[in-house]
């Protein structure tokens, strides 16, 4: 079983990074935030969750142990598989996702790709008291940095090296009806 991979980021393809570890390239699926933080040619260490099924052998990587632990807690929820758990972690930063679960914000969690209302409700019910935070009455604080991983302009800014939070914040001030290239240009001016 693979627990940790350490090496250079060789490529970034789709939602995965190819990690070159001693001449062997491992394709590792990562969260949207980690994807933006990892840069080609940089040496990095990823904590790995290995998913082996009849027709697939996937590696899921995390820059921090905390992200990996929350990922594994999400997997303990009935109906949540590895790709859905990764989608939930990709909606916002780790702390924001934890707060959403602790505060019971089903709407926030259901923004993840492939996660419906029922699955989001199960996540809240099963993990509300297990994410290490006290439940909160005010669940709106973290909504300011929610990012849509499917937003091409956001993806472009992250690829340029901006953090997901900074890119989302800049794009808030730009007209959403513009083409992605134009939104990126205007966000860069901000």
Backbone dihedral angles phi then psi of residue 61, each to the nearest 5 degrees: -115, 150
Res 28: pLDDT: 97
What CATH number does the domain located at 65-143 have?
A: 1.10.150.20
The domain spans of the chain are 4-62, 65-143, 147-189
Residues 85 and 75: beta-carbon distance below 8 Å: yes
CATH superfamily of 4-62: Nucleic acid-binding proteins (2.40.50.140)
Secondary structure class of 168 (helix, strand, coil): helix
pLDDT of 82 strictly over 90? yes
Residues 42 and 62: beta-carbon distance below 8 Å: no
Which of the pair, 29 or 154, is modelled with greater confidence? 29
pTM tops 0.85: no
Closest CA to 93 of 11, 151, 36, 156: 36
Which residues pair with residue 62 across a beta bridge? Answer: 47
Which of 79-99 are b and which e, b meaning 16 or more Cβ less than 10 Å from the residue's Cβ? ebebebbbbbbbbbbbebbbb
What integer is the mean pLDDT of 8-30?
Answer: 94
Q: Do the first three CATH levels of 4-62 and 65-143 match, i.e. the same topology?
A: no
pLDDT tens digits for 29-65? 999 999 989 999 999 999 999 999 899 899 999 999 9
**Dihedral sign of CA atoms 76, 82, 85, 86 in order:** positive
pLDDT tens digits for 101-149? 988 888 889 888 889 889 989 998 888 888 765 544 443 343 344 566 6
Res 138: pLDDT: 42
Provide the strand spans (E) within the chain. 4-13, 16-21, 24-29, 43-53, 56-62
Res 172: pLDDT: 83
């Amino acid at each position: 079983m693979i627990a940790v991979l350490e090496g250079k980021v060789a490529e970034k393809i789709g939602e995965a990074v190819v990690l070159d570890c001693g001449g062997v390239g491992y394709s590792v699926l990562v969260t949207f935030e980690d994807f933006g933080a990892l840069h080609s040619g940089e040496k990095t260490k990823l904590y790995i969750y290995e998913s082996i099924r009849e027709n697939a052998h996937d590696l899921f990587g995390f820059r921090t142990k905390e992200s990996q632990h929350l990922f594994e807690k999400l997997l303990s929820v009935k109906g949540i598989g590895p790709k859905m758990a990764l989608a939930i972690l990709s909606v916002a930063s780790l702390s924001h996702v934890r707060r959403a679960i602790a505060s019971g914000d089903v709407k926030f969690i259901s923004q993840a790709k492939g996660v419906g209302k029922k699955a989001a409700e199960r996540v809240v019910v099963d993990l509300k008291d297990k994410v290490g935070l006290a439940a909160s009455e005010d669940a709106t604080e973290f909504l300011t940095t929610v990012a849509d991983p499917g937003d091409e302009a956001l993806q472009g800014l992250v690829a340029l090296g901006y953090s997901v939070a900074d890119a989302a914040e800049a794009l808030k001030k730009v007209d959403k009806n513009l083409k992605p290239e134009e939104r990126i240009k205007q966000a860069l001016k901000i």
